[in-house]
Amino acid sequence: MKKILAAVLLLSLIVSSLAFANELTVMPIKSEPLNLVSVNGALLDQPFLISEQGNQMIPLKAIALAFGYDVRWVQSNQSVELMKGARFITIYSHENQYTFGKMAPQKLTEKAMFHEGSTYVPLDFVSELLEGFSYATDEMIEIQTQITDQISTGNMVIESIKDGVIYVKIFDGEGHVMINDETTFSIYGTDEVLTLSDLKVGDTIKVTHPSIMTMIYPPQYHAFHVERINDVNYTEGTILNVSDSSVLIKGYPMDIQININDETHLKDVNGAHISLDALHVGNRVRVYHSLAATKSIPPQSLGYLIILE
Protein backbone atom coordinates (compact mmCIF):
# COMPACT_ATOMS: atom_id res chain seq x y z
CA MET A 1 0.00 0.00 0.00
CA LYS A 2 2.85 2.40 0.83
CA LYS A 3 4.47 1.70 -2.54
CA ILE A 4 1.20 2.35 -4.34
CA LEU A 5 0.63 5.59 -2.42
CA ALA A 6 4.18 6.69 -3.14
CA ALA A 7 3.72 6.04 -6.85
CA VAL A 8 0.47 7.98 -6.98
CA LEU A 9 1.89 10.97 -5.11
CA LEU A 10 5.06 10.98 -7.19
CA LEU A 11 3.03 10.89 -10.40
CA SER A 12 0.88 13.77 -9.16
CA LEU A 13 4.01 15.76 -8.33
CA ILE A 14 5.52 15.19 -11.76
CA VAL A 15 2.45 16.09 -13.81
CA SER A 16 1.32 19.06 -11.73
CA SER A 17 2.16 22.50 -13.07
CA LEU A 18 1.20 25.95 -11.81
CA ALA A 19 0.91 28.63 -14.46
CA PHE A 20 1.74 31.46 -12.09
CA ALA A 21 5.10 29.96 -11.10
CA ASN A 22 6.63 29.38 -14.51
CA GLU A 23 9.16 32.19 -14.14
CA LEU A 24 10.77 31.05 -10.90
CA THR A 25 14.31 29.73 -10.84
CA VAL A 26 14.58 25.99 -10.32
CA MET A 27 16.36 25.20 -7.05
CA PRO A 28 17.86 21.79 -6.19
CA ILE A 29 15.99 20.01 -3.42
CA LYS A 30 15.71 16.57 -1.92
CA SER A 31 12.26 15.09 -2.55
CA GLU A 32 10.45 12.59 -0.31
CA PRO A 33 7.25 11.47 -2.09
CA LEU A 34 5.74 10.11 1.11
CA ASN A 35 6.00 13.45 2.91
CA LEU A 36 2.24 13.97 3.18
CA VAL A 37 0.40 17.26 3.68
CA SER A 38 -3.19 17.55 4.95
CA VAL A 39 -5.39 20.62 5.39
CA ASN A 40 -8.31 20.34 7.80
CA GLY A 41 -7.86 16.56 7.61
CA ALA A 42 -7.97 16.38 3.79
CA LEU A 43 -4.87 14.94 2.11
CA LEU A 44 -3.37 17.10 -0.67
CA ASP A 45 -2.09 15.61 -3.92
CA GLN A 46 1.36 17.13 -3.46
CA PRO A 47 3.82 16.17 -0.70
CA PHE A 48 6.05 18.60 1.14
CA LEU A 49 9.69 18.83 0.10
CA ILE A 50 12.95 19.31 1.98
CA SER A 51 15.14 22.20 0.80
CA GLU A 52 18.93 22.15 0.72
CA GLN A 53 18.83 24.09 3.98
CA GLY A 54 16.83 21.24 5.53
CA ASN A 55 13.51 23.14 5.79
CA GLN A 56 10.08 21.67 5.10
CA MET A 57 8.59 23.38 2.05
CA ILE A 58 4.85 23.18 1.30
CA PRO A 59 2.98 23.54 -2.06
CA LEU A 60 1.78 27.14 -2.17
CA LYS A 61 -1.19 27.00 -4.54
CA ALA A 62 -2.87 23.96 -2.97
CA ILE A 63 -2.48 25.43 0.52
CA ALA A 64 -3.71 28.88 -0.54
CA LEU A 65 -6.80 27.47 -2.26
CA ALA A 66 -7.64 25.43 0.84
CA PHE A 67 -7.48 28.67 2.86
CA GLY A 68 -9.92 30.27 0.40
CA TYR A 69 -7.48 32.50 -1.51
CA ASP A 70 -7.41 33.21 -5.24
CA VAL A 71 -3.91 32.82 -6.69
CA ARG A 72 -2.20 34.56 -9.60
CA TRP A 73 1.29 35.01 -11.04
CA VAL A 74 2.38 38.63 -11.66
CA GLN A 75 4.88 38.77 -14.51
CA SER A 76 5.85 42.43 -14.03
CA ASN A 77 7.55 41.93 -10.66
CA GLN A 78 7.99 38.15 -10.70
CA SER A 79 5.72 37.52 -7.72
CA VAL A 80 2.75 35.43 -6.64
CA GLU A 81 -0.32 37.19 -5.26
CA LEU A 82 -2.95 35.67 -2.98
CA MET A 83 -6.30 37.45 -2.63
CA LYS A 84 -9.32 36.80 -0.41
CA GLY A 85 -11.69 39.72 -0.04
CA ALA A 86 -9.67 42.58 1.47
CA ARG A 87 -6.80 40.25 2.44
CA PHE A 88 -3.79 40.49 0.13
CA ILE A 89 -0.50 38.53 0.31
CA THR A 90 2.51 38.86 -2.01
CA ILE A 91 5.31 36.27 -2.34
CA TYR A 92 8.40 37.47 -4.16
CA SER A 93 10.20 34.89 -6.27
CA HIS A 94 13.84 35.98 -6.15
CA GLU A 95 14.29 37.08 -2.55
CA ASN A 96 13.13 36.22 0.95
CA GLN A 97 10.27 38.72 1.07
CA TYR A 98 6.63 38.13 1.95
CA THR A 99 4.10 40.96 2.26
CA PHE A 100 0.73 40.98 4.00
CA GLY A 101 -1.52 43.82 2.80
CA LYS A 102 0.27 47.15 2.97
CA MET A 103 2.66 46.11 5.72
CA ALA A 104 6.42 46.11 5.22
CA PRO A 105 7.84 42.90 3.68
CA GLN A 106 8.96 40.27 6.17
CA LYS A 107 11.41 37.38 6.01
CA LEU A 108 10.54 33.75 6.67
CA THR A 109 12.74 30.69 7.12
CA GLU A 110 13.78 31.00 3.48
CA LYS A 111 12.55 32.31 0.15
CA ALA A 112 10.00 30.57 -2.06
CA MET A 113 11.31 27.98 -4.48
CA PHE A 114 10.19 26.29 -7.67
CA HIS A 115 10.10 22.54 -8.32
CA GLU A 116 8.47 20.52 -11.11
CA GLY A 117 6.16 23.37 -12.10
CA SER A 118 5.01 24.25 -8.57
CA THR A 119 5.88 26.97 -6.08
CA TYR A 120 6.83 25.96 -2.53
CA VAL A 121 7.08 28.13 0.59
CA PRO A 122 8.48 27.36 4.06
CA LEU A 123 6.12 25.94 6.68
CA ASP A 124 6.13 29.11 8.79
CA PHE A 125 4.21 30.77 5.92
CA VAL A 126 1.08 29.13 7.42
CA SER A 127 1.34 30.80 10.82
CA GLU A 128 2.98 34.09 9.79
CA LEU A 129 0.93 34.98 6.68
CA LEU A 130 -2.14 32.75 6.60
CA GLU A 131 -2.75 32.86 10.37
CA GLY A 132 -3.27 29.09 10.38
CA PHE A 133 -1.91 26.29 12.52
CA SER A 134 0.41 23.40 11.69
CA TYR A 135 1.83 20.28 13.30
CA ALA A 136 4.81 18.70 11.59
CA THR A 137 6.70 15.43 11.91
CA ASP A 138 9.41 14.00 9.68
CA GLU A 139 6.75 12.20 7.65
CA MET A 140 3.63 14.39 7.68
CA ILE A 141 2.46 17.99 8.02
CA GLU A 142 -1.07 18.63 9.33
CA ILE A 143 -2.48 22.12 8.74
CA GLN A 144 -5.63 23.69 10.15
CA THR A 145 -7.07 26.82 8.58
CA GLN A 146 -8.44 27.94 11.93
CA ILE A 147 -9.33 26.83 15.41
CA THR A 148 -13.05 27.63 15.50
CA ASP A 149 -14.83 29.00 18.55
CA GLN A 150 -18.03 27.25 17.58
CA ILE A 151 -19.28 24.44 15.37
CA SER A 152 -22.67 23.03 14.42
CA THR A 153 -23.95 19.51 14.94
CA GLY A 154 -27.01 18.39 13.02
CA ASN A 155 -29.47 15.54 12.87
CA MET A 156 -30.37 15.56 16.56
CA VAL A 157 -33.87 14.16 17.16
CA ILE A 158 -35.71 15.55 20.17
CA GLU A 159 -36.80 12.90 22.68
CA SER A 160 -37.94 15.22 25.46
CA ILE A 161 -37.66 18.80 26.74
CA LYS A 162 -37.46 19.58 30.44
CA ASP A 163 -36.16 22.42 32.62
CA GLY A 164 -34.25 24.18 29.84
CA VAL A 165 -32.64 20.99 28.52
CA ILE A 166 -33.43 19.34 25.17
CA TYR A 167 -32.79 15.61 25.39
CA VAL A 168 -31.86 14.29 21.96
CA LYS A 169 -30.93 11.14 20.12
CA ILE A 170 -27.87 11.64 17.92
CA PHE A 171 -26.52 8.88 15.70
CA ASP A 172 -26.35 5.80 17.95
CA GLY A 173 -26.16 7.74 21.21
CA GLU A 174 -27.80 10.51 23.15
CA GLY A 175 -27.03 14.10 24.07
CA HIS A 176 -28.22 17.01 26.17
CA VAL A 177 -28.72 20.42 24.52
CA MET A 178 -28.37 23.07 27.22
CA ILE A 179 -30.48 26.19 26.66
CA ASN A 180 -29.86 29.62 28.24
CA ASP A 181 -31.23 33.16 27.92
CA GLU A 182 -28.87 33.88 25.01
CA THR A 183 -29.92 30.88 22.88
CA THR A 184 -31.75 31.77 19.66
CA PHE A 185 -34.08 29.58 17.57
CA SER A 186 -35.06 29.44 13.89
CA ILE A 187 -36.44 27.23 11.10
CA TYR A 188 -34.27 26.18 8.16
CA GLY A 189 -35.15 27.98 4.94
CA THR A 190 -37.22 30.75 6.55
CA ASP A 191 -36.76 33.96 8.51
CA GLU A 192 -39.23 32.78 11.13
CA VAL A 193 -38.04 33.15 14.72
CA LEU A 194 -38.92 30.39 17.18
CA THR A 195 -38.81 29.92 20.93
CA LEU A 196 -38.06 26.82 22.95
CA SER A 197 -41.79 26.24 23.41
CA ASP A 198 -42.22 25.90 19.62
CA LEU A 199 -40.09 22.75 19.53
CA LYS A 200 -41.67 19.36 20.07
CA VAL A 201 -40.73 15.73 20.50
CA GLY A 202 -39.72 14.21 17.15
CA ASP A 203 -38.32 17.44 15.69
CA THR A 204 -34.87 17.23 14.11
CA ILE A 205 -32.55 20.09 15.07
CA LYS A 206 -29.13 21.48 14.29
CA VAL A 207 -27.29 22.99 17.25
CA THR A 208 -24.49 25.57 17.09
CA HIS A 209 -22.30 25.19 20.18
CA PRO A 210 -18.71 25.73 21.43
CA SER A 211 -16.11 23.67 19.60
CA ILE A 212 -14.54 22.67 22.93
CA MET A 213 -16.77 20.41 24.99
CA THR A 214 -16.37 18.74 28.36
CA MET A 215 -15.52 15.04 28.19
CA ILE A 216 -18.65 13.65 29.82
CA TYR A 217 -21.39 11.27 28.73
CA PRO A 218 -23.97 11.99 27.57
CA PRO A 219 -22.29 14.96 25.85
CA GLN A 220 -23.63 18.41 26.68
CA TYR A 221 -24.10 20.95 23.88
CA HIS A 222 -24.36 24.49 25.28
CA ALA A 223 -26.45 26.02 22.51
CA PHE A 224 -25.76 29.37 20.89
CA HIS A 225 -28.42 28.66 18.28
CA VAL A 226 -30.96 25.91 17.62
CA GLU A 227 -32.31 25.43 14.09
CA ARG A 228 -35.24 23.13 13.30
CA ILE A 229 -34.34 21.13 10.17
CA ASN A 230 -37.12 18.53 9.94
CA ASP A 231 -37.09 18.32 6.13
CA VAL A 232 -33.32 18.15 5.52
CA ASN A 233 -30.10 16.58 6.73
CA TYR A 234 -27.08 18.63 7.79
CA THR A 235 -23.36 17.85 7.44
CA GLU A 236 -20.41 20.03 8.38
CA GLY A 237 -16.88 19.02 7.37
CA THR A 238 -13.87 19.27 5.08
CA ILE A 239 -13.82 18.78 1.31
CA LEU A 240 -11.85 15.69 0.30
CA ASN A 241 -12.57 15.82 -3.43
CA VAL A 242 -14.49 17.97 -5.95
CA SER A 243 -15.84 16.84 -9.32
CA ASP A 244 -18.18 18.44 -11.87
CA SER A 245 -21.22 16.88 -10.21
CA SER A 246 -20.33 16.10 -6.59
CA VAL A 247 -18.33 17.03 -3.50
CA LEU A 248 -16.87 14.41 -1.16
CA ILE A 249 -16.91 15.61 2.45
CA LYS A 250 -15.08 14.34 5.50
CA GLY A 251 -17.94 14.47 7.98
CA TYR A 252 -19.01 12.83 11.21
CA PRO A 253 -19.59 9.96 11.78
CA MET A 254 -18.61 9.10 8.19
CA ASP A 255 -17.63 10.64 4.87
CA ILE A 256 -20.48 11.53 2.52
CA GLN A 257 -20.72 12.37 -1.18
CA ILE A 258 -22.95 15.36 -1.88
CA ASN A 259 -24.30 15.26 -5.41
CA ILE A 260 -24.92 18.59 -7.14
CA ASN A 261 -27.49 19.55 -9.76
CA ASP A 262 -28.91 22.78 -11.20
CA GLU A 263 -31.04 23.34 -8.09
CA THR A 264 -28.13 23.09 -5.62
CA HIS A 265 -27.27 26.50 -4.17
CA LEU A 266 -23.62 27.37 -3.51
CA LYS A 267 -22.92 30.35 -1.24
CA ASP A 268 -20.17 31.89 0.86
CA VAL A 269 -20.63 32.75 4.54
CA ASN A 270 -21.96 36.21 3.59
CA GLY A 271 -24.74 34.69 1.49
CA ALA A 272 -23.24 35.60 -1.90
CA HIS A 273 -23.63 33.02 -4.65
CA ILE A 274 -20.43 31.28 -5.76
CA SER A 275 -19.53 28.76 -8.47
CA LEU A 276 -18.38 25.18 -8.06
CA ASP A 277 -14.89 26.37 -9.04
CA ALA A 278 -14.68 28.15 -5.67
CA LEU A 279 -14.64 24.82 -3.80
CA HIS A 280 -11.27 23.16 -3.20
CA VAL A 281 -9.81 20.27 -1.23
CA GLY A 282 -9.29 21.36 2.38
CA ASN A 283 -12.12 23.94 2.41
CA ARG A 284 -14.59 23.63 5.27
CA VAL A 285 -18.24 23.61 4.25
CA ARG A 286 -21.70 23.40 5.81
CA VAL A 287 -24.18 21.38 3.78
CA TYR A 288 -27.93 20.99 3.87
CA HIS A 289 -28.91 17.92 1.86
CA SER A 290 -31.65 15.39 1.23
CA LEU A 291 -32.95 13.06 3.93
CA ALA A 292 -32.53 10.26 1.39
CA ALA A 293 -29.08 8.70 1.03
CA THR A 294 -27.74 5.65 -0.77
CA LYS A 295 -26.40 2.68 1.17
CA SER A 296 -23.10 2.86 -0.70
CA ILE A 297 -19.72 3.61 0.85
CA PRO A 298 -19.55 6.54 1.09
CA PRO A 299 -23.29 7.27 1.11
CA GLN A 300 -24.55 9.74 -1.49
CA SER A 301 -27.14 12.45 -0.97
CA LEU A 302 -28.45 15.34 -3.06
CA GLY A 303 -27.22 18.74 -1.89
CA TYR A 304 -29.68 21.60 -1.41
CA LEU A 305 -27.32 24.27 -0.03
CA ILE A 306 -23.53 24.27 0.31
CA ILE A 307 -22.00 27.10 2.36
CA LEU A 308 -18.25 27.72 2.00
CA GLU A 309 -16.77 28.88 5.31
From its phi and psi, is residue 110 left (phi > 0), alpha (psi between -120 and 50) or beta? beta
What is the pLDDT at residue 94?
Answer: 87
What is the pLDDT at residue 303?
Answer: 95
Q: Which residues of the chain have pLDDT under 50?
A: 1-26, 31-32
CA angle 150, 156, 160 (to 5 degrees): 115
Global pTM value? 0.70
What is the pLDDT at residue 224?
Answer: 94
Write the CATH number of the domain with boundaries 233-308: 2.40.50.320
The backbone torsions φ and ψ at residue 2, rounded to the nearest 5 degrees and listed phi first, read -65, -40
**Identical topology for domains 2-144 and 150-228:** no
CA torsion, points 133, 137, 138, 139, in degrees to nearest 10? -90
How far from each other are the two terminal CA atoms of the chain, in whole angstroms?
34
Q: What residue ranges do the domains of the chain occupy? A: 2-144, 150-228, 233-308
What is the pLDDT at residue 1?
Answer: 47
Cβ burial, residue 203 (10 Å; 0-12/13-18/19+): middle
Tell me: the pLDDT tens digits for 61-86?
999 999 989 999 988 888 999 998 88
The backbone torsions φ and ψ at residue 242, rounded to the nearest 5 degrees and listed phi first, read -130, 130
Architecture of domain 2-144: 2-Layer Sandwich (3.30)
Cβ burial, residue 237 (10 Å; 0-12/13-18/19+): buried
What is the pLDDT at residue 33?
Answer: 55
Q: How far out from the chain centre does Cα 192 lie?
A: 30
Top-tier CATH class for 150-228? mainly beta
What is the pLDDT at residue 279?
Answer: 94
What is the pLDDT at residue 19?
Answer: 41
